[in-house]
Each structure stands twice: as structure tokens, then as C-alpha cells.
């Protein structure tokens, strides 16, 4: 069992920054990857960023590449999403997810079995 709790969402103006945190507890030591997804009203949940435990590398969707940075603190069992140069189109509920599935650059929500409750990010123009 894995529990994921997100925090750090809020309201920010366009061009601003936010940092999301995801605290993991439970059987996290063998999780192969952590990811961030988002879902805007009326849209499907979409992949934002992922971090593979081994070799400790990050990967991103094209829409956030160069603006967002995902990092993982294994000692603290926490994954972060630093979001810079935010745009109104980034407004969504952001979810943290984890997986034990071993694969390269997992991006499908179906590949992630553990999910947090979500945190709202609103970017005003």
C-alpha cells in the first residue's frame, strides 16, 4: 500500500511560479517511477512529468518542457514539481502518481497504480 499526499497548489498570476510537493508513505522503496498528471475541467487527465528511480532521470510532456522541473528526494520519500513561467493553460487539478511497473518513460495514467487526492493550481491572466 502506498499513500500519496500533494500540497503546494494555489492561485498565481501568469508568469509566476509554484512548487508542488508529493509526500509518499508506505511501500515506496520499490516504486520504479513517480509522475505528475493534471486534469482541467472537461478534459482528460494528461501526463505532465515523470521521474524514474533508476537511473534517476526526469522526462516531460512537450507542453511543460523547459518550464517545469520534477525532482525526487528518496530520503524524504517526496517528489516535487517546480513550475515556472506559468500560463493560464496550466490551470488544472494536479495529481501525483506512483508505479511499480518497470518501463521506459511511462506516460499513460493506466500505468500508475497509486494516486494522490490532487491539488488545484489556478493561473490568472
Contact 71, 56 (CB under 8 A): no
Q: How far is CA 117 from the centre of its chain?
A: 12
pLDDT of residue 74: 78
What integer best gives the mean pLDDT of the chain?
Answer: 93
pLDDT of residue 77: 86
CA 69, 53, 113, 119 torsion: positive or negative?
A: negative
| Cα maximum dimension of the chain | 41
Strands laid side by side in the 2-7 sheet: 2-7, 18-26, 78-83, 68-73
pLDDT digits (tens, 9 = 90+) for 36-73: 999 999 999 999 999 998 888 899 999 999 999 999 88
Amino acid at each position: 500500500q502506498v499513500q500519496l499526499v500533494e500540497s503546494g497548489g494555489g492561485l498565481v498570476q501568469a508568469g509566476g511560479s509554484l512548487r508542488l510537493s508529493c509526500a509518499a508513505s508506505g511501500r515506496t522503496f520499490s516504486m520504479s517511477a513517480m509522475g505528475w498528471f493534471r486534469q482541467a475541467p472537461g478534459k482528460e487527465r494528461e501526463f505532465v512529468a515523470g521521474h524514474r528511480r533508476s537511473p534517476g532521470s526526469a522526462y516531460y510532456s512537450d507542453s511543460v518542457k523547459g518550464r517545469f522541473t520534477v525532482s525526487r528526494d528518496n530520503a524524504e520519500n517526496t517528489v516535487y514539481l517546480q513550475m515556472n513561467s506559468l500560463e493560464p493553460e496550466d490551470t488544472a487539478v494536479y495529481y501525483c502518481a506512483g508505479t511499480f511497473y518497470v518501463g521506459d518513460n511511462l506516460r499513460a495514467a493506466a500505468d500508475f497504480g497509486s494516486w494522490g487526492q490532487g491539488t488545484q493550481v489556478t493561473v490568472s491572466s
